[in-house]
Amino acid sequence: MTEAERPIKVRATKQARRALAALTACALAATSAAPARAQGGMPLVRDAEIEQLLRDYTQPLLRAAGLAQQNVRVVIINDRAFNAFVMDGRRIFMNAGALMDATTPNQLIGVLAHETGHIAGGHLSRLREQLAQAQTQSIIAMVLGVGAMVAASRSGRDVGNPAAAILGPQEAIRRSLLSYVRSQEEQADRAGVKFLNATQQSPKGMSETFKRLADQIMFAAQNADPYVQSHPMPAERVSALEIFAKTSPYWDKKDSPELQMRHDMMRAKLVGFLDRRDTVGRKYPMTDTSLPARYARAIATYRHADLRAAVAQIDSLIQSVPANPYFHELKGQALLEGGKAVEAIEPLRRAVKLAPHPELIQILLAQALIAANDRRYADEAVTLLRTALTREPEMPEGFAQLAMAYGKKGDLAQADLASAQSAFTRGDYKTARELASRAKTRFAIGSPGWVKADDIATFRPPNMPN
């Protein structure tokens, strides 16, 4: 297991933008893989197996919504709260807690259907239009108050008097915007049920999940004015959703055993990577001999420095399901992180051949080839990384590995360019510009490498001084 919201067109502080995200996220609300940090420090979880499962969950919904060509993907945030939201038309953000808490595929698919409803409805662009009609300072003051209230209610803290937090001279604007967001939630619920029906899936999981979340936040929300909520009062919304969902002819349809197994494996993997070893042992005791339990324990074993025992457990998994690419990936990852890069190469090569979308595994394999410290592997590493980065162009680590691979080949121009691209995708524009400027001096003027370096060297993000 190894971007940020599109800026809304108002000048605001960093704190205000974060609060604005809380308002516009269209979150489900909640009280309740080794992460890699993306731009802005957001902790993300990247994993080929989990992303493939989420892709399989999401693609039918996107086709039903007419969004199949928009390359919408699910981004996993390393946060244990149950939450999911959209910030633009290209990404659905989902907390790892939602993946771990959803006990059936249908529950998670229901959440994805709801978020797809937000994208299909163009809710965020319309909300930006609403925001553009208000004065900037009024928006900032309003959003800071609403953001604090929503964040407090999600965490289960006492929100005090929410009206007092956001009352101000622009009361009419505030109420109008909150009403607008509230109606979006209702529309997304109905659209989600529609997409589930179109794909012959049950909306029961969606209804069950929202009801459970409503029960969790009932105490925090019971004294709040409905007009200062970013979504309807829980009982009101859940009741309307349940009535509508029960009209579906697929209400009682169950997930297939095969899909349930993949879902259980995903949850076990997240527990293995994100929980402490003793927690893994409680959730998956030795008496549990199921494949997901063995998976979680093998991951926990390798993470806690018992490499020999971990490899034995992973080999047992591979023997059980030889064609599972992610068991081979896990073995390679364990060996690589255990200081055995050469031994990691073959299982990772096997994983790349078996995986339907192997880009993240290709980057891991390239890392093993580079760590093997054999110049004969440099060309293979470069090929793998360039292939992977065409599909994963926002992976700073991939560009960093590419820079090292070019360094081993002695190609300093390409190494500098890859280093600049790594810094650029991290959002470190100052370093990116410096490295790109140096790369330009190593390329022939007008060559493809020079042009790419020049694009980075002359890039000026909004509000960045020249």
How would residue 116 be classed by pLDDT, with cut points 50, 70 and 90? very high
pLDDT score for 241 = 92
Least confident of 131-145, 188-202, 235-249: 131-145
Top-confidence residue, 327 or 135: 327
381 located within any domain: no
**pLDDT above 50 (res 434):** yes
Average pLDDT score over residue span 212-226:
58
Nearest-angstrom CA–CA distance, 328 and 387: 20
Structural contact between residues 55 and 20, judged by C-beta atoms closer than 8 angstroms? no
Report percent pLDDT > 90 for the chain.
61
320 located within any domain: no
146 located within any domain: yes
User: What is the torsional sign of CA 255, 82, 33, 196?
Assistant: positive
What is the DSSP pairing of strand 84-86 with strand 73-77? unpaired
Question: How confident is the model over 166-176, as pLDDT tens digits?
Answer: 344 445 555 55
Nearest-angstrom CA–CA distance, 79 and 83: 9
Report percent pLDDT > 70 for the chain.
73
State the total domains in the chain: 1
Top-confidence residue, 321 or 6: 321
Residue 119 tokens read as 């994208």
417 located within any domain: no
Least confident of 47-56, 67-76, 97-106, 451-460: 67-76
118 located within any domain: yes
How would residue 211 be classed by pLDDT, with cut points 50, 70 and 90? confident
What is the DSSP pairing of strand 91-95 with strand 43-45? unpaired
Question: How confident is the model over 275-320, as pLDDT tens digits?
Answer: 999 999 999 999 999 999 999 999 999 998 789 999 999 999 999 9
User: What is the torsional sign of CA 391, 399, 416, 337?
Assistant: negative
Nearest-angstrom CA–CA distance, 162 and 158: 10
Question: How confident is the model over 324-340, as pLDDT tens digits?
Answer: 999 999 999 999 999 99
Question: How confident is the model over 351-367, as pLDDT tens digits?
Answer: 999 999 999 999 999 99
How would residue 449 be classed by pLDDT, with cut points 50, 70 and 90? very high
129 located within any domain: yes
pLDDT score for 125 = 64
Q: Say which DSSP state 156 is in.
A: T
| Domain hosting residue 68, numbered range | 14-245
Top-confidence residue, 184 or 62: 62
Closest CA to 47 of 340, 355, 399: 355
327 located within any domain: no
Question: How confident is the model over 376-425, as pLDDT tens digits?
Answer: 999 999 999 999 999 999 899 999 999 999 999 999 999 999 999 999 99
Give this prediction's pTM: 0.80
Nearest-angstrom CA–CA distance, 367 and 400: 10
156 located within any domain: yes
Mean model confidence pLDDT for the chain = 81
**pLDDT above 50 (res 179):** yes
